[in-house]
Structure 1
């Protein structure tokens, strides 16, 4: 049984086993999942899966689908496996390696989330575009202007219909008896639908 009993995304960050790797924050995850437009039987690649937080949330939505979590760090592989157990999901397949090479033996895909590209964004986008099913979607989470620009230019070149939003999250934190606001790094979410 899953630790998350709700029908919405945005699992609190503290519910995940995190280790030393960066993790997509819950508010960004909620928007990214909505931009993916998952169905119950979706096949998805999560490239640069990290702790597996997006893979977990996607697997909970696409219960009859298959999520491929691609990660190049051994620590990430261990964290994803631990989080899969914690949330009771079994429709995630762990793929150890770096994209695009790690995608070589994977089946056609409906949705792709790119959370980390290791500097290979152009090549990854070319490979996943060739594998996308009709009306397939790609979502890129970008924390740098470089990634935002590269994703925009390449997806335009590959003839995607694009939607870009910026998410700037500010959370409260306790400082003594006061509630202070603490801003998180802004994230650009680039959504592309294959024409």
Structure 2
């Protein structure tokens, strides 16, 4: 196979892989009822004037399936951490006992589960669009190459096979996440 075509295929595969990774990250942020330290993964805290990830200023634990505890390394950071959790707009109401912050994760209602399922579906569709964009870019690059029309058709068919594989992965990931969200 032509080196240029191999490079185009590898590049599009890498783009499609990034789409899958982004989808998995999005799915981790969609909580399905059980408490997880990942739920606070996007929380930023004002740490002496600079925005710092929560994980760099405190320990985040889940003692049970309904509770998240945040134990700051410096007690004077408790108000800043509470403020960061509220600003992250996660729907949590942090409580502090002077030592650490306790967050009770509420049970999801049926309506909220359906809403989260729609959000997950939208994230999956976004991933599919990014995969299709990678296909379009690869096909455009193939058309610009100096190879025969038959080789171009074969290369485009390979790109389509790659696209189908990644679209199927997105569908599988969404199916697993949807079951997880809808499970009571």
> Scaled by the length of structure 2, what TM-score is found?
0.29
Greater strand fraction, Structure 1 or Structure 2 = 1
Greater helix fraction, Structure 1 or Structure 2 = 2
Greater relative contact order: 1 or 2 (C-alpha under 8 angstroms, separation 6 or more)? 2
